Amino acid sequence: MREDTRTRIQEIALRLFTEQGYEATSLREIAEELGVTKAALYYHFKTKDDIVASLVEQRLTELDELLAWVRSRPRSPETRRELVERYADNIRATRHLGIARFLERNQTALRDHPTLIKIRERMMQLTSEISEPGAPPAERISHSLALFALHAGKWLMKEGELSEEEIHKACLEVAYRLLER
């Protein structure tokens, strides 16, 4: 059962943008791999930026939800642990794992993209919700780092002898520890 063209464009773009970077990937490459011409892409997306927008809008929504959730709860150790858990599940879900990697690797190239600006903003807000406002600096950095530890495992353990699942559990363990104290 054939996927529609729009979805296939998104898949190819996501892969190339992640592997080579946004700027280094031309619409011609995307079109070529899809087996159509460059011009055909313009039927589906207004601009190159628009392809990015379509990829990351869902991720923004998820972060908004996560942020709303954490704000609906008391600032407590339990909330923080559950936030880490939810965030870990979120970036693990197959659909968004690719998006997360794409975002990690194109921060600079897409620094002016409206949706990306909002996503960065939400991440900053999330890291501020994960600490007490008056906490000492080291504690705040430590807590914030907990979220990034969940991303770090994948590219730290690179050509690993470890399974996906082992890395995931190890990252969670490190993240929880960063929340203590």
Partner DNA sequence: GTCTATAACCGGATAGAC
Partner DNA sequence: GTCTATCCGGTTATAGAC
Work out the end-to-end distance of the chain between its first and last CA atoms, rounded to an integer number of angstroms.
53
Examine residue 33 and tell whether it contacts DNA (CB under 7 A): no
Q: Does 49 bind DNA (CB under 7 A)?
A: yes
174: its two tokens:
């490190």
Binding region for its own copies (CB under 8 A) out of 29-37, 78-86, 89-97, 104-112:
104-112
Q: Which of 9, 14, 55, 106 binds its own copies (CB under 8 A)?
A: 106
If the CB atoms of residues 35 and 137 are measured against its own copies, the closer one turns out to be 137
Which residue shows structure tokens 């406002």? 133
- The 92-121 contact track toward DNA, x by CB under 7 A, reads ------------------------------
Q: Does 1 bind DNA (CB under 7 A)?
A: no
Q: How far, in Å, CA of 51 to CA of 55, rounded? A: 6
| CA angle (4 as vertex; 13, 55 as ends), nearest 5 | 35
**Burial 32-47, CB ≥16 within 10 A → b, else e:** eebebeeeebeebbee
Of 106 and 144, the one with the shorter C-beta distance to DNA is 106
Please report whether residue 125 would count as binding its own copies according to CB under 8 A: no
| Rounded Cα–Cα distance for residues 102 and 109 (Å) | 11
Q: Is there a contact between 66 and 87 (Cβ–Cβ < 8 Å)?
A: yes
> If binding is defined by CB under 7 A, does position 10 make contact with DNA?
no
User: What is the spatial distance between Cα 132 and Cα 145, in angstroms, rounded to a whole number?
Assistant: 15
List residues binding its own copies (CB under 8 A). 20-21, 23-24, 105-109, 111, 124, 127, 136-138, 140-142, 144-145, 148-149, 152-153, 156-158, 162, 166-167, 169-171, 173-174, 177-178, 181
The residue ranges that bind DNA (CB under 7 A) are 4-5, 25-29, 31, 35-40, 42-44, 46-49
